[in-house]
Amino acid sequence: LLVVAYAIGAPLKLFVQSKYSKGYIRNFSDTVIFWVYIFLVIGLIFIPFGIVQGEFVKDILIYAILAGIFTVGFQLFFTLAIACGPVGLSSFLTAASSVVYIVYSIIVFKEPVTPLKIVGFVLFVVALACNIKKDPTKNINGKWITLILITCLLA
């Protein structure tokens, strides 16, 4: 059920975010205000989950704040990146940053390199090559590259 919710929710979120980014962003403040409203709503919905058996858990708050800082940073820079560059390539690159986590888990946690992981990595390289093919309609410039690199670091 969670996978189905994600499969529906993630594209809907990207649709709303890209529609907003391409049509309404005038400056950095617009982006900040947009995400403040979104995270305020998320916070109000999920605050009850921070209370476990009637007791507030400090560790949950600490990790939530750290995760929130990275999430807010990611969303701010991603919104700015898709406002000035290609949405599809921006989405692909930020999603592809999960390859870093896979490599990290192999090195740090000694997770095995399976044939499926190798096939996945090869498919990732092929998809990357297909997405970065020189296309004059894509608005790739230094500003977009900087924003997307920051976004990937925060992902």
Contact between residue 85 and residue 22 where contact means Cβ atoms under 8 Å apart? no
- Write out pLDDT tens, residues 70-104: 888 888 899 899 888 888 888 888 888 778 788 88
Q: How many residues are listed for the chain in this entry?
A: 155
Residue type, 134: K
Q: Is the pLDDT of residue 14 over 70?
A: yes
Q: Is the pLDDT of residue 154 over 90?
A: no
pLDDT of residue 146: 93
Q: Is the pLDDT of residue 135 over 90?
A: no
Q: What is the mean pLDDT of the chain?
A: 81
| 56 DSSP β-pair partners | 51
Q: Is the pLDDT of residue 39 over 70?
A: yes
Q: Which residue has the higher pLDDT, 143 or 10?
A: 143
d(C-alpha 55, C-alpha 68), whole Å = 21
**Mean pLDDT, residues 4-20 taken together:** 77
Handedness of CA 149, 34, 138, 11 (dihedral sign): positive
